[in-house]
Amino acid sequence: MALPKHLQHGLTPDELTFLAEEEVISIVPSFSMTKIRVLSGVYGPFVPPSSTSVPLWMALSLKRKRKCRIVAPEWLQVERLQALLKEEKENQDGFNKLPRRFIETGKVLLDVAPDDLHLPAQLRSLLKDLREVRQAKIRLGLQSEGVMQGSYLQMNGLTPLELMELKPFLVKAMGVLQTLEPRKEERDGYGASQT
């Protein structure tokens, strides 16, 4: 109750990005260093031309200091995204399964390391298209007949970020619907307790 309204419904996009920064990504360092130990594990050694895996936050931080080159994840490539987009459009009944931190990782990489990606402008517009196709599906799905009348709603394949955008509205709407549902047997008991 003490939390500000916009934090009450769950994680914010910034918090989700923070979580995404724990995922491991490959980098090619441009400096030499032995292994290092951080809370999440031991990373390194950093030996220039060979690549190594570090958490995303470390990769981004090193990148901003121009100390490494980030190796793009295999899904962040124009051909892969085009294929994903095509699949997403063809699959009218559900959502394609994306990597869990797909949106967040894609966005921060495009923010910080566009020069390490192949055709960043195209990647950006593909990611946007993908988002729009999925948003349109969400909208259609919610507005189709009878969806909101059940006691729960199942949506497979949404990433946490998309869910976060949707959840506050849905929770409130279903709360209102719940108060309008037919009253159950409780009436009888209520009458009985008076006597």
Partner 1 sequence: MPALREVAFSRAKDATAEVFVPSSLDNEQEELAPLRIAAPEMADEDYYSLQSILADNHKLTCSFTLAVEGLGYLEGGTDADLQENAKVELPFWLAQTLSINEFTTFPLPQPYSPRVRAALNASAPSVKLSNQVGSNGWWYRWGSKIADVLDDRPQADLLKIMFRAFVARLPPLQDLSAHHASSDHSVPESGAGTGENFREGMEGDERELFRIGQDSGQMIKAWYDSTWGQRAFARR
First to last CA, the chain: 38
Residue 93 binds partner 1 (CB under 8 A): no
- What angle in degrees, to the nearest 10, is found between the helix axes of 102-112 and 160-179? 140
DSSP 46: B
Nearer to partner 1 (CB atom), residue 37 or residue 183: 183
- Name which of 115 and 181 has its Cβ closer to partner 1: 181
Burial annotation 121-142 (CB, 10 A radius, 16+ → b, else e):
eebeebbebbeebbeebbeeee
**110's tokens:** 């495009």
Single out the residue of 58, 68, 72, 108 in contact with partner 1 (rule: CB under 8 A): 108
> Residue 79 or 115: which CB sits closer to partner 1?
115
Span of 23-31, 43-51, 78-86, 179-187 interacting with partner 1 by CB under 8 A: 179-187
49 binds partner 1 (CB under 8 A): no
Task: Tell which positions 136-175 bind partner 1, by CB under 8 A.
Answer: 139, 142-143, 148-149, 161, 164-169, 172-173
| Residue labelled with tokens 């599906």 | 137
| Minimum separation from the CB atom of position 13 to partner 1 (A) | 4
Smallest gap from Cβ 49 to partner 1, in A, equals 27
Q: Classify residue 88 as left (phi > 0), alpha (psi -120 to 50) or beta.
A: alpha
Q: How far is the CB of 25 from partner 1 (least distance, A)?
A: 14
Q: Helices then strands (H, E): number in the chain?
A: 7, 5
Residue 144 is which amino acid? S
Q: Shortest distance, CB of residue 164 to partner 1, whole angstroms?
A: 7
User: Using the rule CB under 8 A, is 60 a contact of partner 1?
Assistant: yes
Which of 47, 71, 78, 112 touches partner 1 (CB under 8 A)? Answer: 112
Q: What are phi and psi of 79, to 5 degrees?
A: -65, -45
- Nearest to partner 1 of 42, 176 (CB atom): 176
Other CB atoms within 10 A of residue 65 CB? 10
Q: Which of 64, 65, 86, 118 binds partner 1 (CB under 8 A)?
A: 64
